[in-house]
C-alpha cells in the first residue's frame, strides 16, 4: 500500500508516492535505496481568484506585461518588466506563502519585491548581472530561512536609507530587530553544525551587506560576518563547493564571491586587519601551492579586472607590513611598474569583459571607462600609501585629472550600470581634493552614486570626506602639500567601498 505522498519531499519520493523525511541535501529513503535525491522549488499562492491575483494580472492579455523567463535547466517563470527602470529586467512574482505553506506577511512580500527589483539592481553593473543574482538567490531564499532573513534585513536597511520609517504599518527598525533575532540564531546553529554549503556562505555575505547598508557606527558585526566567510572558505575545495552548490545559481555565487573579495580588499577600512595572502588563494585560479595568474579580463560583476583587485590587495599588505622601508620601496616600484604596464597594455587593446550576455557598444565603453578609473585610482593608492606623496604632487594630480575626465563621460546615477561600482574611485579623488571645484565635483558625483545605490554607508563616505577637508583646512593646506594618508589616519570611520 503506497504511503502518504510528501508535499515538500524530494522529487524521487514524490514520484514514488512515498513519505519523505525532507532531510537535505539527501533524504533518508534516498540514502537507503541509493537514489539520486533532488528538491525543486514549488511556490504556494494565495487564495484569490486567479483573475484578481497578481499572477493573473501579469498574464492579462490586454496589459501584455508578462514575459516567460527560461532558466538554464529547462525551468521557467513568468515575470513583469519595469518601464521606469530603464533596461527591461524581470520582476519576480512574490508568493503569498513560502514553499512549506507558511504565509508570508505583507511586509515581507514588500521587502522581497524591493530586494529583487532595487537591492540586487544596486549591486549590479549590468542588467545581465542583475538577472544572474535574481535567478540564483531569490528561489534559494524561499527554501532557506537563514538566507531569507538576511535578504529581508538587507532590503529593510535599503528602505531606511531611502527615508522610509514604516513598512505595511510596522516600524522598519522593529522589522530589522525581528529578522536579526530570528535569523542570526539560525545562522549560528548552522555554523555550529559545521555546514559549509553555498547557502550558508551566501547568508554570511548578505548579512554583511545588511550591516553595511544600515551604517550603524556603533555596530561592527559586518566584520564578523566577513570573517565568518573567510573562516569557512579555508580551502580551494570549499570555494569550488561554494560556486557549484546545486541549490544556488553558479553565476550568482561567483558574483557573491567577487563581492566578498572586494569587501575585504578595497582600502579605507582602517580598523579591519589586512587579509592574509592565503585569502586571495581561495580564488578559482589554483590551489594554495600554485602560482596564481590573475585574469586581465574585466570581471562582469566587479567592473574591473581581478588582476587589479590583486594589486590593491598587495598594496594593503605592503602598507601594513613591518618590512624595512628599503624593502617596501623596492616592492612599491614593482607594483607601480605593474599597474603602469596594465594601463599601457589596455590602451593598445581594451580587455574583454567576462559576462554572460553580448554587450552593446555603449555597455562595452562603460566597462572600459570603469576599469580605467580603477587603474588610475590604484596608481593614487600606490603614490599615497607606499610613497607618501602629497595630494598636490604631479603624479597624483595627473591621475585625478584622468579619473575626472573619464567619470564625466560615464552614464551616471543609474542602477544596473557601471556607476554602482564607482565608490572607490570617487572616494579616492575626494581624499586628494584641496580646491573648491574639486570638492564640488566629488560631492556631485557621490550624490548621484547615493541615488543609485541607496545605502546609508554612502553618507559615511560623505562625512569622512568632510572631515578630511576640514583637517586640511585647519592646517592651512590650500595647495595639497599634505599626504591624504595622514589625514585619513585621523578620521574615525570604517569606510566600506564596494
Q: What is the pLDDT of residues 3-46, one digit of tens each?
A: 445 567 888 888 888 888 888 778 888 888 888 888 765 544 44
**Calpha distance 263→497 (Å, rounded):** 7
H-type helices in 454-483, by residue range? 457-474
8 Å CB contact between 456 and 172: no
The torsion angles phi and psi of 378, rounded to 5 degrees, stand at -65, -40
**Calpha distance 32→223 (Å, rounded):** 42
Residues in the chain predicted with pLDDT less than 50, given as ranges, are 1-4, 43-92, 217-218, 235-236, 267, 269, 271-292
By CB neighbour count within 10 A (0-12 exposed, 13-18 middle, 19+ buried), where does 81 fall? Answer: middle
**Calpha distance 113→152 (Å, rounded):** 10
Beta strands in 345-448 (DSSP E): 353-354
pLDDT value at residue 91: 36
The torsion angles phi and psi of 309, rounded to 5 degrees, stand at -60, -35
pLDDT value at residue 65: 42
pLDDT value at residue 93: 61
**Calpha distance 206→179 (Å, rounded):** 13
Query: What is the DSSP annotation of 208-233?
Result: HHHHHHHT-TT--HHHHHHHHHHHH-
**Calpha distance 178→185 (Å, rounded):** 11
**Calpha distance 186→170 (Å, rounded):** 23
For residue 466 the three cell numbers come to 568632510
For residue 74 the three cell numbers come to 529547462
37-64 pLDDT, tens digit each: 887 655 444 444 444 444 444 444 434 4
Closest CA to 303 of 361, 239, 363, 376: 363
**Calpha distance 469→434 (Å, rounded):** 7
8 Å CB contact between 266 and 498: yes
- Residues with Cβ within 8 Å of 223's Cβ and at least 6 positions away in sequence, in order, are 271, 272, 494
8 Å CB contact between 491 and 468: yes
Q: How many Cβ atoms are within 10 Å of 413's Cβ, its own excluded?
A: 16
**Calpha distance 233→258 (Å, rounded):** 13
* C-alpha dihedral (315, 460, 262, 455), degrees to nearest 10: -170
pTM for this model (two decimals): 0.76
pLDDT value at residue 381: 95
Q: How many Cβ atoms are within 10 Å of 466's Cβ, its own excluded?
A: 14
8 Å CB contact between 170 and 176: no
**Calpha distance 198→254 (Å, rounded):** 10
Amino acid at each position: 500500500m503506497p504511503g502518504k505522498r510528501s508535499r515538500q519531499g524530494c522529487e524521487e519520493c514524490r514520484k514514488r508516492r512515498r513519505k519523505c523525511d525532507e532531510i537535505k541535501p539527501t533524504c533518508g529513503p534516498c540514502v537507503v535505496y541509493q537514489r539520486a535525491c533532488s528538491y525543486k522549488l514549488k511556490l504556494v499562492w494565495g487564495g484569490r481568484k486567479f483573475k484578481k491575483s497578481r499572477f493573473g494580472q501579469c498574464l492579462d492579455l490586454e496589459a501584455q506585461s508578462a514575459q516567460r523567463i527560461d532558466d538554464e535547466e529547462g525551468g521557467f517563470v513568468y515575470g513583469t518588466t519595469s518601464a521606469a527602470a530603464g533596461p527591461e529586467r524581470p520582476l519576480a512574482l512574490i508568493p503569498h506563502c513560502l514553499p512549506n505553506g507558511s504565509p508570508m506577511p505583507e511586509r515581507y512580500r514588500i521587502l522581497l519585491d524591493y530586494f529583487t527589483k532595487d537591492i540586487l539592481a544596486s549591486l549590479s553593473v549590468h542588467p545581465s548581472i542583475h538577472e544572474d543574482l535574481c535567478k540564483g538567490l531569490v528561489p534559494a531564499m524561499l527554501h532557506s530561512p537563514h538566507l531569507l532573513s538576511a535578504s529581508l534585513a538587507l532590503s529593510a536597511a535599503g528602505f531606511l536609507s531611502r527615508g522610509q520609517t514604516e513598512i505595511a504599518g510596522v516600524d522598519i527598525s522593529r522589522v530589522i530587530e525581528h529578522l536579526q533575532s530570528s535569523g542570526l540564531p539560525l545562522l549560528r546553529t548552522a555554523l555550529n553544525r559545521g555546514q559549509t554549503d553555498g547557502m550558508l556562505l551566501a547568508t554570511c555575505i548578505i548579512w554583511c551587506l545588511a550591516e553595511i547598508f544600515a551604517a550603524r557606527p556603533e555596530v561592527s558585526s559586518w566584520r564578523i560576518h566577513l570573517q565568518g566567510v573567510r573562516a569557512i572558505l579555508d580551502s580551494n575545495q570549499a570555494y569550488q563547493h561554494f560556486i557549484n552548490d546545486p541549490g544556488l545559481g553558479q553565476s550568482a555565487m561567483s558574483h557573491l564571491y567577487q563581492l566578498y573579495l572586494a569587501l575585504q580588499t578595497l582600502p579605507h577600512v582602517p580598523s579591519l586587519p589586512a587579509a592574509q595572502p592565503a585569502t586571495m588563494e581561495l580564488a578559482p585560479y589554483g590551489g594554495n601551492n600554485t602560482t596564481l595568474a590573475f585574469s586581465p579580463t574585466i570581471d562582469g560583476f566587479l567592473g574591473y579586472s581581478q588582476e587589479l583587485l590583486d594589486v590593491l590587495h598587495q598594496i594593503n599588505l605592503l602598507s601594513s607590513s613591518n618590512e624595512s622601508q628599503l624593502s617596501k620601496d623596492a616592492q612599491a616600484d614593482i607594483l607601480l611598474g605593474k599597474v603602469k604596464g596594465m594601463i599601457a597594455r589596455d590602451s593598445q587593446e581594451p580587455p574583454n569583459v567576462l559576462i554572460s550576455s553580448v554587450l552593446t557598444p555603449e555597455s562595452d565603453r562603460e566597462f572600459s571607462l570603469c576599469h580605467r578609473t580603477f587603474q588610475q585610482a590604484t596608481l593614487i593608492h600606490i603614490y599615497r600609501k607606499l610613497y607618501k606623496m602629497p595630494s598636490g604632487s604631479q603624479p597624483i594630480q595627473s591621475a585625478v585629472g584622468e579619473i575626472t575626465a573619464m567619470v564625466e563621460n560615464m552614464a551616471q546615477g543609474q542602477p544596473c550600470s557601471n556607476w554602482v561600482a564607482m565608490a572607490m574611485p570617487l572616494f579616492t579623488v575626494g581624499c586628494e581634493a584641496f580646491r573648491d571645484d574639486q570638492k564640488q565635483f566629488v560631492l556631485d558625483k557621490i550624490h548621484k552614486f547615493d541615488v543609485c545605490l541607496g545605502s546609508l554607508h554612502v553618507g559615511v563616505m560623505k562625512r569622512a570626506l568632510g572631515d578630511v577637508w576640514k583637517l586640511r583646512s585647519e592646517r592651512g593646506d590650500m595647495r595639497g602639500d599634505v599626504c591624504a594618508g595622514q589625514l585619513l589616519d585621523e578620521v574615525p570611520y570604517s569606510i566600506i567601498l564596494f
